[in-house]
Chains A and B, each alone.
Chain A
Amino acid sequence: MAKGFVSITVERCKGCGFCVEFCPTHVLALSSAYNSKGYHAPHIVSAEKCSGCDLCGMYCPDFAIFGARYAR
């Protein structure tokens, strides 16, 4: 089971791809779907790998994604 999770606010995303590039465990990929502004938001491809480190949240210039660890 994954240690953490990521939450994405698709409508706020501008598709810069920082989170996809710098995710240390490669949880994300840019989706082929568009949001209402016409950007490709990321989607989760391997949820089980997420460590909840929140590096995606620190990189995201649009405050559209964050990660956290599950409370144990």
Chain B
Amino acid sequence: MNETTLEVPYEIPVDAHNPVEPFLRMDRMPHIWCPGCGIGTTVNCFTRALLDSKADLDKVAIVSGIGCTGRVAGYASLDSFHTTHGRAIPFATGLKLANPELQVVVYSGDGDLFAIGGNHFIHAARRNMDLKVICVNNLTYAMTGGQTAPTTPSHVISATSPYGVFEPAFNLVALAEAAGASYVARWTTYHVKQLARSMEEVLKKKGFCFIEVLSPCPTLYQRRNKMGDGLDTMKFYKQASKVRHGAPTSECALTKSGEIVVGKFVDRDRPGYFELLNAQMTETLGERYAEPEVVCGNC
């Protein structure tokens, strides 16, 4: 019995349990994420979205790349796949093509998805592959020591930019929209309810969906830039963020301390990869074409 149960001034029902626990490998806890890191918060939102969308958990697969956020695949008690660096989307594409019944969620960080894996991201979005991409953006390469990432805003101090970053950063939501994503949203770890709702929408939507989640990185990003700890960043998100659904994504670039535009920017329907494949092949081959059969053992 731990000390809390002794201290609690009222009764806790015996069958009460944390709603996250059925979705996690609790034997792996505590996790490796730093105090004040927001990745765990995004995992909470994701599990609430899975609960609310009543998804069949046997048909949900999580694919992660390398990085702090890449650890989510290891902690999720679903079919999960921890892939090589940057290649989460190609692995997920293969998974989806081999078994189209699967709901494939790519859960990875900004360094993994947009630096080494940037090429794969734009092509999966172009093809409108039915993947749900959740990108936890902490604006740096956190696991390797806080180097400048393609998402690091100007004037930020990082391990490889001790005098400040001068390269322009990617605007991930604009990139996703331009590449052809069906659904594009941005939230921060402060907006837990909105993020959970957005994730639930994405689980029900067809096509390539992209959610960017801004998350604090107190150990490497905030510390070098004297931005305080995780809680200070959460307060900053609360004060600096502005919900603007449907805002033009080109106006939503992130800066070091400026306004953070959040919301659902794009929600459109484009023909998916399978529809286009079947349409084209039926047109050219006619009766000689048969839709690919799914053969995958007992699934």
Q: Quick check: B19 and A60 within 8 Å, CB to CB? A: no
Per-residue CB proximity of B160-183 to A under 8 Å, as 1/0? 000000000000000000000000
Tell me the minimal C-beta distance from B193 to chain A in angstroms: 7
Q: Quick check: A68 and B29 within 8 Å, CB to CB? A: no
Residues of B within 8 A of A37 (CB): 30
Residues of A within 8 A of B239 (CB): none
Of B12, B29, B35, which is within 8 A of A63 by CB? B29
CB of B38 within 8 A of chain A?
Answer: yes
**Bound Cα distance from A39 to B17, whole angstroms:** 23
**Bound Cα distance from A7 to B15, whole angstroms:** 12
Closest B residue to A70 by beta carbon equals B13
Chain B 38-91 residues near chain A, CB threshold 8 A: 38-41, 43-45, 48
Residues of A within 8 A of B2 (CB): 9-11
Q: Which among B3-11, B95-103, B118-126 touches the partner chain?
A: B3-11
Q: Quick check: B192 and A62 within 8 Å, CB to CB? A: no
Q: Quick check: B10 and A8 within 8 Å, CB to CB? A: no
Residues of A within 8 A of B43 (CB): 63
**Bound Cα distance from A47 to B40, whole angstroms:** 25
Tell me the minimal C-beta distance from A54 to chain B in angstroms: 7
Residues of B within 8 A of A44 (CB): 7-9
**Bound Cα distance from A33 to B19, whole angstroms:** 27
**Bound Cα distance from A26 to B269, whole angstroms:** 43
Which 5 A/B pairs are nearest by Cβ-Cβ distance? A61-B40, A14-B35, A58-B192, A66-B18, A16-B36
- Beyond the given pairs A63-B24, A63-B40, 8 more chain A to chain B contacts, judged by CB atoms under 8 angstroms and listed by A's residue number, are A5-B16, A16-B229, A18-B234, A21-B235, A47-B8, A58-B48, A60-B41, A61-B41
List 6 A–B pairs whose Cβ atoms lie within 8 Å, in order of A's numbering: A2-B10, A55-B192, A57-B18, A61-B44, A63-B29, A68-B13
